[in-house]
Structure 1
Amino acid sequence: MTARVQPDSGAPAQARVRQTWIDQARWAAIVLVVAGHAVGMLRGSSGLALVVSNYVYIFHIPVFVMLAGWGARRAQADGTGLTKIFWQLLVPYVLFQLIAFGFNYVFEDDNPSWSFTFQTFGLWFLVALAGWRLIGPWFRGLRFAVPIAVLLAVAAGFSSNIDGFLSLSRILYFLPMFLLGPWLVDRISEWRSDLRFRIGGVAVLAAGGVLTVLLGGNFNREPFLGNVGYEAMKMSALEGTGWRLLALAAGTLMAAAFMLALPGRPNAPSRLGSSVAEAGRHTMYPYLLHLPLLTVVGSTALVDAGQPTLRTAAFMAGSLAFCIVASWKPVRMLTAVVVEPRTLFPPAPGKVS
């Protein structure tokens, strides 16, 4: 869901290898995002949907946040940086907030709030990413930046009023992962060449899956969302602090394991690897386009059609198919006006976009 990072043609080969697997990781993660949202509509009727939804919510957002941090590792809080934030994040946010108002009114009979300080479903990430890009450069000059960010994440939970306003709760909750991203993603790039680390990643993912299955309906995914404070989760300050630290640690560990466990060889020599890497450079399309589609699907009988387990499997397969189609070049060309509006207003010659 991060804006595309242009590879540096003059960069060393190792940097280009890292970019290749990172694009593949983005693609795999966006499929999990779409699938997690899709099966989330079936949580009340399917045990499989409940487990899948709980499982992916542990780490799919941390994966994107850390990759976003890596992609913004050289971003500056200057005019060029502000211009990118405006065109890549804020303009699409306003456009899709308006689209959400229209779709919610037509398909859910929900009158538009016309509020842009509180995001409709799924759009919080654009606002949060803008916030991280703005404050990230200030943290680079601090010693112990990540521990300080962890303290801020914990402190945010003490506010009884913190919620979806400008995504402030999630900006602070996921800030440690955003700041950790540049260091951790570079380490993972090195560790992926060691089979022991790859096997360890698979083991961690499997252990998380087993635990999620064993807990079933008792799994508490609320702390992993980072969208409300401790009081709203009906937790004491001490209990909320413990859960928040646990969720941050588990999310980071599982996200790292996910990136380690992904298959693939350097430079994506296979046709499939190259295709996945190319699709991973355009994850904004499946991310943004699936949100109004979910509103349409949720208003139909599809959410109640057929046997629950088969319905969940169909929704997961449909999510994969949708991500493939949404990343297809003709679809991107048709929808770029709302997903990447900057393409309609290219910078003047000599200007940096």
Structure 2
Amino acid sequence: MSVPIASQGGAPPAKVRVPLWDNARFVAITLVVAGHAILKLIAESDAAYGVYLFIYSFHVPVFVAVAGYFAKATPPGAKQLKRIVTDLVLPYLVFELIWTGVHWLSRGSATLDLASPSWTLWFLLALIVWRVALPYLALLRFPLLISVAVSIGAGYLPAIDGTFAADRTLALLPFFVLGWRLRQLPVTSWWLAASARRVLLVRGCAVGLFAALAVVIGAGMPLWRELLVRRVLLFEQAYPDFGYDQWWAGALRLGAIALATVLLFAFLALMPRRETPVAKLGQATMYVYLLHSFVLYPFREFGWLDGPQPWWVLPAMLVFSVLVALALASAPVRRVFRPLVEPRARWLFTPEKHVTPRVRAD
């Protein structure tokens, strides 16, 4: 996050990034990589399934909320509209084409289907919808409550499926709105100015909360498998699609939203407030997000992690996830893949014309 600071000589205020949010970004994207890296292990390993549930209890909501924190609710101008095209639409098209080629090389056949996003690309489509919808939601009196109602209600409609990532877009909308609302409140400034004693107290509570979560998950592993908790935490598909056709099924998503919200604040409380070695890497999360799936593709498709695995595979994959995140956020990788992840595409837009402001004669 950038905040203005006073400058000398009447110059425009400079902007300084707040390391807290960059630290949160990098840790969140590392958890995204870890969750994908251990997916193949959860069927045969309760330990892997427990770690998976722990991560998925909050990491995607955190990632979405951080994106919402930096979103603007003002009517978009030409610059903002162009950013949606260059930052989201074009990367989606480019990476869908790349994934089509990958599938053709590995499977011998592939079909380009832009309505069905490949693996992680759903997030780009969701961001497009969230950014476009936010100015309209901001006009409403209770945008957060409305977004929660939309999320819960969408789960009752099987017609809202993965086409253009509609299911996840609506299900995760509350966290995007929550992130935006946090920026309207002095939460960041209050936390950055908090005393060391208060910070220690809050972080102690956060650690206790995560420890309690780990204990609860570990103690009820057979029950969580039977209840299909993993499917609830994915925030996708309608409730009947994964076995819940009861009238009260929406309470499952409401519970998942409430749990993720509490864990989101606990997660942010544990993030360092000062500059860390990974803070700068937190500015490159989109590189990690779009590229890590190619690194993990062989593990997912070629059966490298199928069947029972030795105990050390789980911690090895978690360490590997951290290394992947560090590598993909590095300057050399950003330099090589910038044309794909951040295409400028100046050729696509009409040249800006200088418009002389009209002055009333009276």
TM-score by length of 1: 0.87
Matched, 1:25 2:24: yes
Match of 1:257 in 2: 266
Match of 2:78 in 1: 79
Classify 1:138/1:260 alpha carbon distance in 2 versus 1 (closer, same or farther; 3 Å). same
Match of 2:291 in 1: 289
Match of 1:221 in 2: 230
Q: Higher mean Cα deviation, 166-175 or 179-188?
A: 179-188
Query: Could you list the runs of 5+ residues in structure 2 that have no partner in the other structure?
Result: 8-12, 355-362
Q: Is the 8 A contact 1:163 1:229 kept in 2?
A: yes
Letter of the 1:250 counterpart = L
Distance (whole Å) between structure 2 residues aligned to residue 300 and residue 169 of structure 1: 28
Aligned length: 336
Classify 1:79/1:179 alpha carbon distance in 2 versus 1 (closer, same or farther; 3 Å). same
Distance (whole Å) between structure 2 residues aligned to residue 164 and residue 11 of structure 1: 47
**Which structure 2 residues correspond to residues 1-353 of structure 1 after superposition, within 5 A?**
7-10=2-5, 16=16, 19-74=18-73, 76-107=75-106, 109=107, 111-184=109-182, 186-187=186-187, 190-191=190-191, 193=194, 194-195=198-199, 196-219=201-224, 220-262=229-271, 264-266=272-274, 268=275, 273=276, 275-300=277-302, 302-303=304-305, 307-342=309-344
**Identity of counterpart residues, as a percentage?**
31
- The structural deviation recorded for 1:113 is 2.8
* Residues 162-201 of structure 1 deviation map (CA, whole Å, 9 limit, x = unaligned): 1111111111111111111133365255246332222222
Letter of the 2:208 counterpart = A
Classify 1:333/1:54 alpha carbon distance in 2 versus 1 (closer, same or farther; 3 Å). same
Distance (whole Å) between structure 2 residues aligned to residue 346 and residue 10 of structure 1: 35
- The structural deviation recorded for 1:134 is 0.4
Q: Is the 8 A contact 1:154 1:244 kept in 2?
A: yes
Distance (whole Å) between structure 1 residues aligned to residue 6 and residue 310 of structure 2: 50
- The structural deviation recorded for 1:207 is 1.6
Query: Over aligned residues, Cα RMSD in angstroms?
Result: 2.6
Divergent runs of 4+, >6 A: 343-351
Q: Higher mean Cα deviation, 191-200 or 124-133?
A: 191-200
Distance (whole Å) between structure 2 residues aligned to residue 77 and residue 66 of structure 1: 20
Classify 1:241/1:305 alpha carbon distance in 2 versus 1 (closer, same or farther; 3 Å). closer
Query: Could you list the runs of 5+ residues in structure 1 that have no partner in the other structure?
Result: none
- The structural deviation recorded for 1:73 is 3.4
Which is greater in Rg?
A: 2
Distance (whole Å) between structure 2 residues aligned to residue 349 and residue 217 of structure 1: 61
Classify 1:110/1:243 alpha carbon distance in 2 versus 1 (closer, same or farther; 3 Å). farther
Classify 1:350/1:280 alpha carbon distance in 2 versus 1 (closer, same or farther; 3 Å). farther
Classify 1:155/1:265 alpha carbon distance in 2 versus 1 (closer, same or farther; 3 Å). closer
